[in-house]
Chains A and B, each alone.
Chain A
Amino acid sequence: MSASRLLFDEPGPRARRRIRIATVLAVVAALALVGLALRQFADNGQLAAERWRPYGTWPMWRYLLEGLRSTLAAAAVSIAISAAAGVALALGRLSPSRWLRLPCAAYVEIVRTVPALLLVYIVLFALPRYGLDLPLFWKLVVPLSVSNAAAFAEIFRAGIRSVERGQLEAGLALGLTRGRAMRLVVLPQAARRVLPSLVSQSAGLLKDTSLGYVVSFAELLYSGKVLANYNHLLIQTYLVVALVYLVINATLSKVARTLEARQRTRPSRAVADAVPAAQPTT
């Protein structure tokens, strides 16, 4: 139950009537504005049927969906690399050794404050001059992974720190080494707790793959660029591309919300999982 509900009384009959009237007026005003915009849009010829017909045909969609497949592939590989690097960096940053802690902290703090586009430019323009010319796929995936590893590291670090100290100590008391206690006891619980953040960071990374537009890796947005070059339908193409992104990401964020809700309703889950032998879970 969110506190926000307590900010107002259930509206009475008069308030309800006022709200209804205001709602109708606002909706009418909004519709009028949209109508006006659409008329301008049509006046500029952007609604003409022949400008939209290509997007009713299969080859155009096939091309975009292939772009989407590359988007998903680039996102999946980047997520895998940056999540793995993120765990390593988080562990390094929490390690008792200075020699691990400082470089990991430095990496996170530096990379967090450099735009991904700048990293893309470095991979695109600077590295080839020193003989390192990656295939296009990696020109997109490497900078995205480098930059998202820092974000993942911070998420994992927060998760690890949220696990009660007693868990690690209990592990050590059982005779596990520090590494094993981390891996077997702390990390599983931490990962579970930060799952919603991991999913939303992944959704953000999926959006970042649109930088393929700069790299000319044929992901969704770049495919849109090639299409627009071919059919000269700039606005229509980018509207369709935006729609595809919206559908994919809305699905992902729904997953994140579901995970979050499930976690809220089962707070004991994490603890229960740490001792699976004693208490079988569903």
Chain B
Amino acid sequence: MNVITDHLPEFGSGLLLTVELTLLSLAGALVAGIVVAAMRVSPVGVLRAAGMAYVETLQNIPLLVWLVLAVFGLPEIGVKAGLFTTAVVVISLYQGAYTAEAVRSGINAVPAGQGEAARALGLTFTQSLRLVILPQALRTVVQPLGNIAIMTLMNTALAAAVGVVELTAAANRVNLAEAQPIWIFVAAGLAYMALSGVVGLATGTLERKLAILR
């Protein structure tokens, strides 16, 4: 077990990076997801098509391929960003596609009368979406969003393949030096479980607080 305590700084900084990656990507995914979901229910045909194309393209290429493409391709089109930043943006956009689908299903679950009532009050599309529909839609999809949050946490591990030394990469490096894979990887696994547990608890609490009883 002392491989873990000996390398606590490495594990600690890896864990920290994983948490940062997850939180930033989640925030990004939520923004991207809501914007894209709004596009997909908007009156403008081009926006609907763009939203659809976004979801299809992002979801149908593996995240690992996106990461490698972005890290090595973006500088070639003049976008120079650090590895961590690139990873956050790519994971945000990727999970954004899944978030968009969850939010859209939430929007579809809001009773039609709500939209009709909003329009009857004279609200515009943006107003009725922002003030009436989205607040209700988001409440119904807390559980799916929680699953996306866990999926995001799992997917941050792939950033290891493009040089971000998050928890999985840190564990791998410690193992290269110490060659005690079982302890090292089990410790990393337990850390992931603990993080998922926190996400699960947060989701559960949020859901109880926000649930609309119909």
Q: Which residues of A contact B (CB under 8 A)?
A: 2-4, 6-9, 11, 15, 19, 22-23, 26-27, 36-38, 40-41, 44, 46, 110, 112-118, 121-122, 125-126, 129-130, 203, 207-208, 210-211, 213-214, 221, 234-235, 238-239, 241-242, 245-246, 249-250, 253
Tell whether A250 pairs with B60 under 8 Å between CB atoms, given A40-B78, A118-B171: yes
B163 CB–A CB distance under 8 Å: no
Tell whether A246 pairs with B64 under 8 Å between CB atoms, given A4-B41, A110-B193, A112-B196: no
- The closest CB in chain A to the CB of B182 belongs to A126
B144 CB–A CB distance under 8 Å: no
Q: Which residues of B contact A (CB under 8 A)?
A: 40-46, 56-57, 59-66, 68-69, 72-73, 76-78, 104, 107-112, 115-116, 118-119, 125, 128-129, 133, 150, 153-158, 160-161, 168, 171-172, 175, 179, 181-182, 185, 188-189, 192-193, 195-197
Cα A126 to Cα B188 with chains together (Å): 13
**Candidates A6, A115, A207, A242; contact of B168 at CB < 8 Å:** A115
What residues of A have a CB within 8 angstroms of the CB of B56 in the complex? Answer: 250, 253
Give A30 Cβ to nearest chain B Cβ, in Å: 9
Query: Is A239 a contact partner of B77 (Cβ separation < 8 A)?
Result: no
15 contacts between A and B (CB under 8 A): A15-B43, A19-B43, A40-B76, A41-B77, A114-B193, A115-B192, A118-B188, A121-B172, A121-B185, A125-B185, A126-B181, A129-B179, A234-B72, A241-B65, A242-B65
Give A239 Cβ to nearest chain B Cβ, in Å: 7
Cα A8 to Cα B118 with chains together (Å): 10
Give B49 Cβ to nearest chain A Cβ, in Å: 10
Tell whether A7 pairs with B60 under 8 Å between CB atoms, given A118-B168, A221-B65: no
**Candidates B61, B160, B175; contact of A242 at CB < 8 Å:** B61
Cα A214 to Cα B118 with chains together (Å): 52
Tell whether A115 pairs with B157 under 8 Å between CB atoms, given A26-B46, A250-B56: yes
What residues of A have a CB within 8 angstroms of the CB of B192 in the complex? Answer: 113-115, 118
Query: Is B161 a contact partner of A213 (Cβ separation < 8 A)?
Result: yes
Give A7 Cβ to nearest chain B Cβ, in Å: 5
Cα A123 to Cα B138 with chains together (Å): 39
- The closest CB in chain B to the CB of A126 belongs to B181
Cα A250 to Cα B171 with chains together (Å): 35
Cα A117 to Cα B42 with chains together (Å): 38
Cα A95 to Cα B76 with chains together (Å): 56
Query: Is B65 a contact partner of A210 (Cβ separation < 8 A)?
Result: yes
Query: Is A3 a contact partner of B110 (Cβ separation < 8 A)?
Result: yes
What residues of A have a CB within 8 angstroms of the CB of B109 in the complex? Answer: 3
**Candidates B104, B125, B185; contact of A7 at CB < 8 Å:** B125
Q: Other than A4-B108, A115-B154, A238-B73, give 14 A-B pairs with Cβ distance below 8 A.
A: A6-B116, A6-B119, A7-B43, A7-B133, A9-B119, A19-B43, A122-B185, A125-B172, A207-B63, A221-B65, A239-B69, A249-B61, A253-B59, A253-B60
Across the A-B interface, the 5 shortest Cβ-Cβ residue pairs: A113-B196, A126-B181, A4-B41, A249-B60, A115-B157
Cα A36 to Cα B78 with chains together (Å): 9
Cα A245 to Cα B171 with chains together (Å): 30
Query: Is B76 a contact partner of A3 (Cβ separation < 8 A)?
Result: no
Query: Is B108 a contact partner of A2 (Cβ separation < 8 A)?
Result: yes
- The closest CB in chain A to the CB of B154 belongs to A115
What residues of B have a CB within 8 angstroms of the CB of A207 in the complex? Answer: 61-63
Give A42 Cβ to nearest chain B Cβ, in Å: 10
Tell whether A40 pairs with B77 under 8 Å between CB atoms, given A19-B43, A27-B46: yes
Query: Is A245 a contact partner of B172 (Cβ separation < 8 A)?
Result: no
**Candidates A41, A213, A245; contact of B76 at CB < 8 Å:** A41
Query: Is B46 a contact partner of A238 (Cβ separation < 8 A)?
Result: no
Query: Is A118 a contact partner of B189 (Cβ separation < 8 A)?
Result: yes
Query: Is B157 a contact partner of A118 (Cβ separation < 8 A)?
Result: yes
Query: Is B60 a contact partner of A246 (Cβ separation < 8 A)?
Result: yes
**Candidates B60, B72, B133; contact of A245 at CB < 8 Å:** B60
Cα A114 to Cα B40 with chains together (Å): 33
Give A132 Cβ to nearest chain B Cβ, in Å: 12
Give B93 Cβ to nearest chain A Cβ, in Å: 14
Cα A111 to Cα B146 with chains together (Å): 16
Query: Is A3 a contact partner of B61 (Cβ separation < 8 A)?
Result: no
What residues of A have a CB within 8 angstroms of the CB of B40 in the complex? Answer: 4
Cα A2 to Cα B107 with chains together (Å): 9
Give A3 Cβ to nearest chain B Cβ, in Å: 4
